[in-house]
Amino acid sequence: DPETFAKRLLTGRAAENFFLANYRAEPEFESLNAIDVTQTGCGFDFRLQHNTPSVFSAVEVKGIRLEKGGIILTNKEHSVASSLRESYYLYIVKNFDDEPYAVKYCNPILSGLGFQRVERTIVQVTWSAKL
């Protein structure tokens, strides 16, 4: 449904903007610089750089319009979160319809959120022409 996708995209962008405006309020993040990696397909949205160049925290940002709702991790996000463990944070911005606030999970795969694997088969149609 294109309308649902558009709403999810807007909520996601709003959540990312909320994160950038507020992440330094989190004690673990206050001295770190956020690097936007949303377009790189690396399995998270922001790389928070520590003083040592090879040390960083990864943050995946999700947004929920209401106080409660569901979130989806891509297979890549789940895999990277499983690999990075305590260096991976899930930052969920809730309640966009009223007053947004964030909930943060360190090592989200083992945080008790109870992620369930969902498999879907998708048919993709393409059109080709010889020139």
DSSP 125: -
Quote the strand ranges of 64-99, DSSP E: 88-94
- Please give the model's pTM, rounded to 2 decimal places: 0.87
Three-state secondary structure call for residue 105: strand
Kindly report, residue by residue over 61-100, the tens digit of the pLDDT: 999 999 999 999 999 999 999 999 999 999 999 998 889 9
Kindly report, residue by residue over 13-49, the tens digit of the pLDDT: 899 999 999 999 999 999 999 999 999 999 999 999 9
- What are the CA-CA distances from residue 1 to residues 8, 38, 105 (Å)? 11, 23, 30
- What are the CA-CA distances from residue 104 to residues 21, 40, 42 (Å)? 15, 22, 20
Give yes or no for a contact between 62 and 12, defined as CB atoms under 8 angstroms apart.
Answer: yes
Of residues 8 and 109, more confidently modeled: 109
**What pLDDT score was predicted for residue 97?**
81
Give yes or no for a contact between 45 and 71, defined as CB atoms under 8 angstroms apart.
Answer: no
Kindly report, residue by residue over 90-127, the tens digit of the pLDDT: 999 999 888 999 999 999 999 999 999 999 999 999 99
Residue 6 has pLDDT above 70, yes or no: no
**What pLDDT score was predicted for residue 15?**
94
